[in-house]
Amino acid sequence: MFRPAGTAEIIRSHQKDDNFLNSLRTAVADIAQRIAGPRVWLEWRRTLDVCADVTYLLLTTCSDLQTVGEEYVNIIMTDGTLRALPSRWRRALMTVMQVCAPYILHSSLLKLEHLLQSSTSVNLTPAARETLLNVLPLIRRAVTVLHRCHLAMFYVHGIFYHIAKRLTGIHYIQYMTRNTSASTLRPFQILGYLSLLQLASSFLVQLGYLILALRSQGGSQNSSETHSYVEADTSGMNIPANEKCPLCLGQRRQSTLTPCGHLYCWRCIHEWCVAKQECPLCRDQFPVSRLIALQNFDAVGER
């Protein structure tokens, strides 16, 4: 007997898949670090994660098989009729939209930001350049808000956990081994409404901050502070050893201290610890929360 999959089953399925994908990404990261070193891995980390996710979905969803999470809770992917498997092109489109689209959007915004920060690359007035640089964070924030709104709608209605599944019309059904009633949506609906309420209040607060910021905007603040954690310093050979980041091999920026006593760029070591909670040099293990950002340390070192 089949019935539409419940909200709890869909959530557990994706949690199980996320745990398995994290293990797969960690294995790929270990192989990349052993072959190419930590600096190359940092540069290609996001690309390797996307490759791992795409490979996983190609071997499962696109091959007419259940994912680990779907098999764990005994749910099956279907089209809108709930009577047939989605077509191959629909599943392939869902894979591209779910895994590749966020990566392409993130990379495009990052490249555009670096292009705008380079004064010789784009023929724009300083005012137009500053305006575009201020728009990019708004685009990133809008994407985050869109994801949160979609998740709240999932809690309310109990279908389409991912935006890609909503756009491609992919549903789930569950095979019941015994005659049981469908799980109620009420607890999840309450959570969805609370999420929408929190989003609305957060939007009003952010709107107030934005109005105050526009009123007090005088000049460029620190648009040049944002930099790529893999950006190589053109004069890297002239950087003193005590001012060089061991990961990017460039001038250390926003120096951050690990519990074992090593110094890195904040963005370099934070990106590293998000994927692997250990020191790249001595392999001492520690949580991300134990990283210590040294305020004014770089300014003192330049004197």
CA 88 remoteness from chain centre: 27
Instruction: Tell me what pLDDT residue 184 has.
Output: 53
In a domain, 37, yes or no: yes
Residue 299, pLDDT score = 59
Q: Is residue 85 part of a domain?
A: yes
Q: Compute the radius of gyration of the chain from its Cα atoms.
A: 23
- Supply the pLDDT for residue 14: 93
- For all residues of the chain together, what is the average pLDDT? 82
Both 134 and 249 in one domain: the answer is no
Q: Do 69 and 20 belong to one domain?
A: yes
Q: Which domain holds residue 92?
A: 2-177+188-215
Q: For residues 118 and 115, give the distance between their C-alpha atoms in angstroms, rounded to a whole number.
A: 5
| DSSP SS3 for 265 | strand
Residue 226 domain flag: no
Q: Mean pLDDT lowest for which of 43-47, 100-104, 236-240? A: 236-240
Whether 182 has a pLDDT exceeding 60, the answer reads: no
Residue 167 pLDDT: 93
Q: Extract the tokens encoding 207.
A: 């709107």
What was the pLDDT predicted at 90? 93
How far is Cα of residue 263 from the mean position of the Cα atoms in its chain?
25
Residue 141 pLDDT > 60, yes or no? yes
Let me know whether 146 and 292 are in one domain: no
Burial class (CB in 10 A: 0-12, 13-18, 19+), 203: exposed
Q: What is the mean pLDDT of residues 197-218?
A: 76
| pLDDT at residue number 53 | 94
Q: Which of 59-68, 166-175, 255-264, 274-283 has the lowest mean pLDDT?
A: 274-283
Query: In this structure, are 55 and 204 located in the same domain?
Result: yes
Three-state DSSP at 150 gives helix
Position 162 in a domain: yes
> pTM above 0.85?
no
Position 227 in a domain: no
Burial state string for 20-41 with b = 16 or more CB within 10 A and e = fewer than 16: ebeeebeebbeebbeeeebbeb
Do residues 266 and 200 both lie within one domain? no
How is residue 250 annotated by DSSP?
A: S
Q: How many domains does the chain have?
A: 2
> In the structure encoding, which two tokens stand for residue 14, read together?
């994706």
